[in-house]
Chain A
Amino acid sequence: MLWSIKTLLPVSLQGILKQGDIVIAAGGGGIPVIMKEDGDLEGVDVVVDKDLASSVLARDIKADCLMMITGVEYVFLNFKQPNERALKALTVKEAERYLKEGHFPPGSMGPKIQAAINFLNWGGEVAIIAAIDKVKEALEGITGTKITKD
Chain B
Amino acid sequence: MKKRSVVVIALGGNALIMEGQRGTIAEQFENTRKSLDGIVYCLKQGYGVVITHGNGPQVGNLLLMVEASRNQVPELSLGVCVADTEGAIGYMIQQSLTNRLRKEGLDRCVVTVLTQVIVDKHDTAFSNPTKPIGPFFTREDAERFRKEKGWHIVEDSHRGYRRVVASPDPLKVVEDRAVRGLLEAGDIVIAVGGGGIPVIMKEDGDLEGVDVVVDKDLASSVLARDIKAG
Interface contact B98-A8, CB-CB below 8 Å: yes
User: Cβ of A139 < 8 Å from any Cβ of B?
Assistant: no
A16–B182 CB distance below 8 A? yes
Mask: chain B, 152-178; 1 = CB below 8 Å from A; 0 = not = 000000000000000000000000011
A41-B95, A41-B99 as given contacts; A21 in contact with B178, CB under 8 Å: yes
Q: Is the CB of B91 within 8 A of A31?
A: yes
B residues within 8 A CB of A42? 95
B111 to chain A: which residues have CB within 8 Å? 9, 12
Once the chains bind, are B91 and A9 in contact (CB under 8 Å)?
no
Contact of B102 with A12 in the complex, beta carbons under 8 Å: no
Check A33–B95 contact: CB distance below 8 A: yes
A43 to B111, CA, bound (A): 17
Q: Does B109 contact A (CB under 8 A)?
A: yes
- B182 and A15 contacting across the interface, CB-CB below 8 Å: yes
- Of all chain A residues, the one with the shortest Cβ separation from B88 is A31
| Bitwise interface map of A from 84 to 111 toward B, beta carbon under 8 Å scored 1, else 0 | 0000000000000000000000000000
Instruction: Please encode chain B, from 174 to 189, with 1 for each CB lying within 8 Å of some chain A CB and 0 for all others.
Output: 0001100110110100
- Who on chain B is nearest to A10 by CB? B109
Task: Say yes or no: B98 contacts A15, CB within 8 Å.
Answer: no
Bound form: Cα–Cα A16–B181 in Å? 6
Which residues of chain A from 3 to 45 have any CB-CB distance to chain B below 8 Å in the complex?
8-9, 11-12, 15-16, 19, 21, 24, 31, 33, 39-43
| Bound Cα distance A63, B184 (Å) | 22
Task: Check B102 against A39 for contact (C-beta < 8 Å).
Answer: yes
Indicate if the CB atoms of A11 and B99 lie closer than 8 Å: no
Contacts of A40 in B (CB 8 A): 99, 102
Query: Does the CB pair B91–A12 fall under 8 Å?
Result: no
CB distance from A28 to the nearest CB of B (A): 10
How far does the alpha carbon of A52 sit from the alpha carbon of B181 in the complex, in Å? 28
A39: chain B residues at CB < 8 Å are 99, 102
How many angstroms between the C-alpha atoms of A12 and B109 in the bound complex?
Answer: 7
By a CB distance below 8 angstroms, the chain B residues around A19 are: 177, 181
Tell me the bound Cα distance from A12 to B190 in angstroms: 13
User: Complex formed: what's the CA distance from A31 to B95 in Å?
Assistant: 10
The answer to whether A15 touches B102, judged by C-beta atoms less than 8 angstroms apart, is: no
Decide: A16 and B178 in contact? CB cutoff 8 A.
yes
Query: For window 73-101 of chain B, which residues contact chain A by CB distance below 8 Å?
Result: 91, 95, 98-99
CB distance from B179 to the nearest CB of A (A): 9
How close is A70's CB to chain B, nearest CB, in angstroms?
Answer: 23
Known: A9-B111, A39-B102. A15 touches B95 (CB 8 A): no
CB of B187 within 8 A of CB of A15, answer yes
Chain B contact residues, CB within 8 Å of chain A? 91, 95, 98-99, 102, 109, 111, 114, 177-178, 181-182, 184-185, 187
Chain A contact residues, CB within 8 Å of chain B: 8-9, 11-12, 15-16, 19, 21, 24, 31, 33, 39-43
Interface pairs (22), CB distance under 8 Å? A8-B98, A8-B109, A11-B187, A12-B111, A12-B185, A15-B181, A15-B182, A15-B185, A15-B187, A16-B181, A16-B182, A16-B185, A19-B177, A19-B181, A21-B177, A31-B91, A33-B95, A39-B99, A39-B102, A40-B99, A40-B102, A42-B95
